[in-house]
Structure 1
Amino acid sequence: MNVNLKRLKGMWASSRNLLIIALLILAMSAAFIVFQTSEKSATIVDGEKTIEYTFRGERSIRDALLDNEISLGEMDEVSQPVTDILENGQEIRINRAREITVVADGKEYEFVTAQRQVDDIIRQLGLRLEELDMVQPSLEQEIGDDFLGEIKITRVVEEVVTAKQPVKYSKVTRNNQSLDKGVVKTVQSGKDGLRSVTEKVVYHDGEEFSRTVLEEKVEKEPVEEIQEVGTNVYIATSRGQTRFDMVMYVTATGYCSCSQCTGPGDGTVTASGARTKANHTIAASSQFSFGTEFYIPYFSKNSNRGIFEVEDRGGAIKGNRIDIYFNTHEEALKFGRRTLKVYVLD
């Protein structure tokens, strides 16, 4: 009796285990059926086109592309491996290969790529970027299919240079009553100084782009030029203290009334209509009106005490040039050509 009871209990336990296993298999089968038959979705982004893809069961990314009749070019790229199993809610991005132009180092690189981020495009091309180089558009920017420009790499180099530069001297002018008006005397010559200038120079593609001064240091101070300008307007003549308008140095020559000096015609009549007179008549440029008096210290011991009057003109008499009238041709030749100090009287 006891033996039969034990056998019955063993048979009951075995049957219960089989039932549990059967129920588990049934549940798994039901879950599998639900999984296989439930509807799932994924998004395919192909450039400007977006496709909402619904599917049941297990599908790979390649299957999704085939189902939507999407073909890939040799260099096109998909965001995930096409062998991956598609998950519910997944987004698939397709980057179509296109021609991109990159300008760098004076060259244009044209190549086909599916990359979209500027940094990745440059890396794929194998171009090395230094720390200061500039890229336009920026490295982080993604270019769309409508991008029609070019990627520009500007090589940037900085250097610090120090150069010696002159410091220009200044000029100081001061009045001196002891000097005649119009006389300028340099009492101290000017000398340039010297400074060192340190600058940061920036080059873009080998061409200088900017300079920034970092430091300036004067190594030698400049010496200013000092000039004294005469303000005295009085000169001692036979008339006493005589006021003058200006003082100048002229080139003086002599002439007479002969045809060699004045040409054909009456050489004794001046351009002003006055008769020529030694120790009195001079020819000067038109900047001095007829009747202007000149005091010439060189002739101060003559009968005219050095005072002459502008009464004549001459074809060669221009600027600081005068012609002094003499009675004879011999006297004019003897006088020759001289540089004389002349006071133009008020």
Structure 2
Amino acid sequence: MQNQNTRPVFPFTAIVGQEEMKLALILNVIDPRIGGVMIMGDRGTGKSTTIRAIADLLPEIEVVKDDLFNSHPVESELMSDEVKKKLQDNINLEKTFIKVPMIDLPLGATEDRVCGTIDIEKALTEGVKSFEPGLLAKANRGILYVDEVNLLDDHLVDILLDSAASGWNTVEREGISIRHPARFVLVGSGNPEEGELRPQLLDRFGMHAEIRTVKEPELRVKIVEQRTNFDLNPSKCIEEYEEQQQELKAKIREAQNRLSSIKIDYDNRVKISQVCSELDVDGLRGDIVTNRAAKALAAFEGKNSVTVEHIKKIATLCLRHRLRKDPLESIDSGDKVSKVFNQIFST
């Protein structure tokens, strides 16, 4: 149930349509190493509502109390150097549970605001490293959401993608260096009318979901009704979907636990690479992400190994944004992925 002091969040299971976006978000939550989601679509299609809803749905995480980086009490890859030192010195750490952090990155954010700042004066006069954490620190083990990512300065997008890929953020100033864990699911959204993201940045997002305004009148009416009911009485709407929310929450938790044991046979791995090769995808990121996403989907569906159906369901999401754009090509990139997939997997 929701805390009375927090702003009510629209239930994830109440969201109608936009299956592509919902699936991409769920798979990234199961395995953050997929590398985030870029959501491109029309204005007013519920992008930010859906992202807030998935963050609200996630199980609470255990952290070291009062730690600036949401450090994990036992996993060294997810803890700050300060916490590691305390553990080495056998200092007892107080623990607590918090909601998964959901951090919004505003468009006008500066590099200092994103990465954090080192207090040089304090370092020089008192000889202590004093660090003011930025948004990357707050987002550790959570979700970092950038709306209108295609309008963000390329330099900042680079920093975000580097941190998301490595899981660490390093701040250097005047010869003083501080690093901290910054492992988060990066979710970017944008409207294609406001310009595309540069291909080399787009390729760094694990998945790419396209969303369109719902055309069917009946479905539109249902969406409007649900939103109106929620705005009039949020607690009633949240209560109505509580059971479905708890079921999905349990399913995600089970999938996270099962993930490491999921197998994908050699033949299917070869075929995934054949698809990437045939589509002329640069580098190996496409192959890696497709394998990871297929495993996450198998885990979500409660299976022990990846089937062709799993791969088929996520192939377009993982590959469509990695294709070279041909201005003369009339076929949609998603259709192109499906066509090549069907050719290779039917042999």
Larger Rg: 1
Higher percent of residues as helix: 2
Higher percent of residues as strand: 1
Q: Do both proteins adopt the same fold according to a TM-score greater than 0.5, normalized to the shorter chain?
A: no
Into which bin does the TM-score normalised by the smaller protein fall?
under 0.3
Determine which structure has greater relative contact order: mean sequence separation of CA pairs < 8 Å that are 6+ residues apart, divided by chain length: 2
- Normalising by structure 2, we get a TM-score of 0.17
